[in-house]
Amino acid sequence: MDRRYWISLCLLQWLANCVGSSPLSSAIHTSSKVGLSVVLPCAVTSHLDHPPHIQWQTVQDSVFERMGEEQFQGEAYKHRADVPEAILVQGNCSLFLQDVRFSDAGIYKSYLVVDESSFQNRIFIQSVHLSVVDHKSTKYVETGKDLTLDLYTNQAQLVIFQNSNDTAWAVVWERDGDKNNKCHLSNNKLTFKSVTASSAGMYKVLDSEGLALSTVKVLITEPVLLRESQVLERKTLLGKATMSTPFLKIIITFLTFHLVLPFN
């Protein structure tokens, strides 16, 4: 073995020790709600003279790779995955993943790639287990007001509804379906206009696979309004009470004077 081989071998061992000493070298767990963004942590603790060459992979797919300005995104992660160059030069090799999908759940591994003149070697850095969960919420809406459902992502394809007094589900919105005059879509927010008591129930937002991105329980409340007659009645009673106050004072004064006088 020549001298260059031994030097390269020593360099790889040094890098492995530096990376392996990172507190993030053990597997960690993180989670995200579907449709949101998540950061999978990664750090290279060694001080390199140039930006590191980083790879992120799952068991089945290549996710992202960056070497300087050059980058590669896996087919399933197009326009969604990135390791920003600005933070990579500082040793932060975290993977930024946008518009998270249920299919993104799994184990991700990051590697430091060392290129030599005669071979390329990968050094394991970090293993991250990503869990993806749906959204759950409860909304209270007054009769006659608008109900707005957050779809969170373009993955949303269908909204189904189950009335509080029924067990069947009905489609109330479909992304590529006929336009419904009762609802309006804008910026992944679906608005149902002027809800009634029959609008109470469960709403599920589904993706193309039929998986629930979100489940919303909607409760319809009656607006608290005072009838005009009630308002007038209260004003009348208040006026009578105010007007009768001096008369009551006169009666109390008269009774006090006559009751006390005989004892003098």
pLDDT tens digits, 151-183: 999 999 999 999 988 899 999 999 987 666 788
Mean pLDDT of all residues in 194-205:
96
> Which has the minimum average pLDDT: 28-42, 117-131, 236-250?
236-250
Decide which of 2.60.40.420, 3.40.50.720, 2.60.40.10, 2.40.50.140 is the CATH code for 3-133: 2.60.40.10
The owner of tokens 């089945």 is: 60
pLDDT for 217: 98
The residues spanned by each domain of the chain are 3-133, 135-221
3-133 and 135-221, same CATH topology = yes
Whether this model's pTM surpasses 0.85: no
Mean pLDDT of all residues in 60-85:
95
CATH architecture of 135-221: Sandwich (2.60)
Q: Cα separations (Å) of 244 from 83, 119, 150, 156, 240?
A: 79, 103, 57, 66, 6
Look over the chain and give the mean of its residue pLDDT values, rounded to a whole number. 82
pLDDT cut 90: percent of the chain above it: 60
Interatomic CA distance for residues 109 and 107, integer angstroms: 7
pLDDT tens digits, 93-140: 999 999 999 999 999 999 999 876 667 788 999 999 999 999 999 999
The owner of tokens 């949101």 is: 36
**264 falls in which pLDDT band (50, 70, 90)?**
very low
pLDDT for 185: 93
DSSP the chain: --HHHHHHHHHHHHHHHHHHTSTTSS-EEEEEETTS-EEE--B--S--SS--EEEEE-SS-EEEEEETTEEEE-GGGTTTEE--HHHHTTTB-PEEE-S--GGG-EEEEEEEEEE-SS-EEEEEEEEEEEEEE-EEEEEEEETTS-EEEE--STT--EEEEEETT----EEEEETTS---TTEEEETTEEEE-S--GGG-EEEEEE-TTS-EEEEEEEEEE------HHHHHHHHHHHHHHHHHHHHHHHHHHHHHHHHHGGG-
pLDDT of 149 strictly over 50: yes
Interatomic CA distance for residues 133 and 135, integer angstroms: 7
